[in-house]
Every structure is written in structure tokens, then in C-alpha cells.
Copies of this chain bind each other. A is one copy, B any other.
Amino acid sequence: MSKVVKNLREAIQLCKLEDGMRISFHHALRGGDLVMNQVLAELDTLGMRDLTLCASAIFPVHEPLVEHIKSGLIARIETDYMSGPVAAAISAGLLQQPVVFQSHGGRADRMRLPEYQVDVAFIAASQSDCMGNCSGRNGKSAFGSMGYAFSDAAYAKQVVVVTDELVEYPLADFSIDETCVDYVVVVDQIGDPSLIATGTTKMTRDPIQHQIARTAAEVIEASGLLRDGFSFQTGAGGATLATAQYLAERMKKAGVQGGCCVGGMTGYLTNLLEQGYFKTLLDVQCFDLAAVESLRNDPRHREITATHYASAAAKSSAVNQLDVVMLGATQIDTAFNINVHTDSTGRIIGGSGGHCDAAAGARTTIILAPLIRHRVPIVVDKVVCKSTPGQTVDIVVTQYGIAVNPQRQELIARLNDAGIQTVPIDELKRLAVRIAGEPDPVPHGTQIVANVLYRDGSHSDQIFACK
């Protein structure tokens, strides 16, 4: 018995994939992913049309998708994050149906609902056996945690594992097991893991970012959060990663050992684990090869599902246990709403990922951002896109000052007691205007190019085509 079929085409045909269906992909290989492009090319050759693409994230490497939208192969997109040429094309109004933006937790929850059930999930795996027991931990294209793929495997009607390393049955070290797999396809290459790490997952060298990071570490300590066993998440993005380093220095001085880091993992965090700063890592996604290696070798570093990481519908998830999360922003408004979907001109350049999930779960959510970026104010009256609601955001740290959500008066008092000055967020906004000038109103078209869902599936905002 074997589920291995000849190639992608045979798998697609055996799945009886038809026009109008929903297909899914996970993004663990990030900028190095080759599976989505291969599958879409094959679907195009087969003349498919009108598909819904449920991809946990879309990167510059997925540029061929632009042509597949033009040809009508892909008619609808649901995703958690989007950057590069596809994002630019969407912002320009290429896709008629608005993109549906979800959070990482929201995607896993939504996939479970019958009305959003995926018809065929294509799951990149760096090793699989002939029955579909598979993982991302080993193999020439090892990418680490399969975090986002578990919901696809669990809830899709049919599941195709796509691997470039077929191993003997059983792969004992499986992440996803054979019980939900229909077919296994062996391809030459599922991706290039060296391209997993990108700018957003690397440590910044920008001195302003480091200044913000140092301040954030100071704020965390002053907030009284640096206690034994405290748990912690850094988003991708330079300043938040740098904070981890500054925090470690303070932990060492204070003799504090943290508990758990949650979310996407980097070599910076695995170093902290190895050095004893933290006890465990709950890993939904490996942001670099050091994280992949740590996941493979260190039992304290554990792969978790997107549901376990960030679901709002589950009985609990790891983000609920966070003491602190540090996140980035492209815009922050005076109601503490955060934009991570578009730049200041409304062009799509990202997405929630786990941003709003972690902000909702954590006891303290700290946003790190420069006050001004490329001469444009980041703190504004109203964000172009509300990715994360202000009531889940506690502290904003910029290089020019720290603003605390007025809902958190006890936090303000605590910071002031520790000698840290805070300012009303309106003042940060005024300061930004004073330096960079009042931002021009954002001109936009009338076409809605994306609907942004909050993690519970409710409507959060919409994004218009750029002019």
C-alpha cells in the first residue's frame, strides 16, 4: 500500500480538483517556497479556473501568482500575509474579489468551519513516507515547524503531501500523520530553506531600532513583568528581535529566568534557550535555519499547531499565556489601533500574521515603531487599516517617547514610579507632525481590494485600491 502518485498532475486529477474549488498552502518555506508555484503552474496547464487560494502567507517568490490571477486561475485569495509583487498587484486592483485577510489563529479556526472547508490542501514536507506521515524537521529542504499546515491537514477534504525526500515507512518523527493524507507527490525540490530568513526575520543594524529596543526592554522591566517564568513573544521585525537581546541582559542582571517563548523562532531565541534564559520554546514557525536545527535537536523546543499557538476558538492557546508580546507596526493611531497590512499610503505590504492574536492574548502588548519612517509620520489620527484593535494594545515605544493606553492607568503609574516618562499618544502624533509635517490625506480608489477579518472572523477593516 502506498499513496505515492506519479506527479502533481496525477494527484490533482485523483483529487478531482475542479473549477471553483478551494486549495490551500502553508508558508513555512517563506521566501524559499517552490510548492505553490509548481502546483499553480500545473493547475494552469490543466486549464483550471476560478479557484480560491487559501495560502497562509504569500511572498515575493510567489510572483507567478500575478499571472495566474490575470488568467482567471485564481479568482479569490484568503491569506494572513502578503508582500512583494502579488501584494502590489492586489493593491493596484488586479483581483476583482477582495482578498480576505485573516490572522494565523483566525485562519486555523476558519478552516474548521464547513462553509470554508478547503477542497484540496497541498502540504510541503521535507520528509514523508509513502503513506503521508511527514514533517519539516529533516531532509535536504528541512524548514522546521509545520505549525500552519496542521489545520489544512486536519480539515481539508483531501490532502496532498508534496515532498522532495521520500523515506521508509514509517517516518516515526512525523508531525502530520497519515490518517488525513490522501496522496504523496515527490518533486525535485520543495524549496530553498536558505531563503526562509528574510529582512523581517533578521536583526536590525539601524541605530534607531536599537534605541527603541533598549527602551522597550527598560519598559518591560519597569512594568514588573521580568519575573521568574515570564513568557514572551517577539514578532518578526528588527526592533522586536533586538529587544530580546536587551531583555536578556536585564534578565541576567536581575537573576530572572523566563519560562516560555512563543510564536515564530529565530536563532536569537534558540540561543537564549541554550543559554538558559528561557526554559521552553513553543514554535509555530522557524524564521531561520538555526531555529530549524534547534527544533530538530532540543526537546525543550517544541513544534505547535497554529491552533495551539493562536486560536481564539480553541479552549485555550499559547498566546493567552503571554506576559509580554512585542510587535511592530506600519501605523499606530491615537486610539492605539495598529496597522500592519499597508504602508501609510494604503499599499498592501504585509498582514496580521499572529499580530492581533498575540496582542489579544498577552497581558501586555508593546508596539515598537519609529515615530517617523521615510519622512512619514507613523503615529497618526487614524490608521489606514485597522489590523489590531487599540483595546488590545498597551504600550507604544518610539524613539521620541512612550505612550501607554489610558485604559492601563496602573501601568502608567508603575512606569512613572520607575522614572520612565510616558506621554499621551496624541502628543506623539503632534510631535510626528511637527517633525515630518501633516501627512497628506491618502488618496484611494473606490474598489475594495481586501477585507480584513479580526481573529474571531468579524469584520475589522477594508483596504481600497491605490490610486
| Cβ 8 A contact of A170, one of B131, B159, B282 | B282
- Say whether B280 contacts A170, CB under 8 Å: yes
- Which of the residues B1, B159, B299 comes within 8 Å of A172, measured between beta carbons? B299
B169 touching A307, Cβ below 8 Å = no
Residue A173 at the chain B interface, CB threshold 8 Å:
yes
Contacts of A65 in B (CB 8 A): none
Check A315–B1 contact: CB distance below 8 A: no
Contact with B along A126-153 (1 / 0, CB 8 A): 0000011000000000000000000000
What is the bound-complex CA distance between A279 and B170, given in angstroms?
9
A172 in contact with B321 given A179-B316, A308-B177 (CB within 8 Å): no
How far apart sit A171 and B316, CA to CA, in the bound complex (Å)?
A: 14
Quote the shortest CB–CB distance from A305 to chain B (angstroms).
Answer: 7
B residues within 8 A CB of A229?
A: 168
Q: Which residues of the partner chain B approach A132 to less than 8 Å between Cβ atoms? A: 315-316
Query: In the docked arrangement, what's the CA distance between A299 and B131, Å?
Result: 20
Q: How far is the CB of A127 from chain B (nearest CB, A)?
A: 14
- A300: chain B residues at CB < 8 Å are 172
- How many residues of A are counted as interface, with CB atoms below 8 angstroms from the partner's CB atoms? 41
Specify which chain B residues have a CB less than 8 angstroms from the CB of A169 in the assembled complex. 231, 259-260, 321
A260 to B, closest residue via Cβ = B170
B315 touches A172 (CB 8 A): no
Given contacts A3-B316, A316-B132, contact A308 B172 (CB under 8 A): no
Per the 8 Å Cβ criterion, residues 296-312 of A in contact with B are 299-302, 304-305, 307-308, 311
> Quick one: CB contact mask for A301-334 with B, threshold 8 Å, 1 for yes?
1101101100100111110110000000000000
Residues of B close to A3: CB separation below 8 A: 316
A33 proximity list for chain B (CB < 8 A)? none
The distance from the CB of A1 to the nearest CB of chain B, in whole angstroms, is: 6
27 contacts between A and B (CB under 8 A): A1-B316, A1-B320, A1-B321, A3-B316, A131-B316, A131-B320, A131-B321, A132-B316, A169-B231, A169-B321, A170-B260, A170-B280, A170-B282, A170-B318, A172-B280, A172-B299, A172-B300, A173-B302, A177-B305, A177-B308, A178-B317, A178-B318, A179-B305, A179-B307, A179-B316, A180-B314, A181-B316
Binding site for B on A (CB under 8 A): 1, 3, 131-132, 159, 168-170, 172-174, 177-182, 229, 231, 259-260, 279-282, 299-302, 304-305, 307-308, 311, 314-318, 320-321
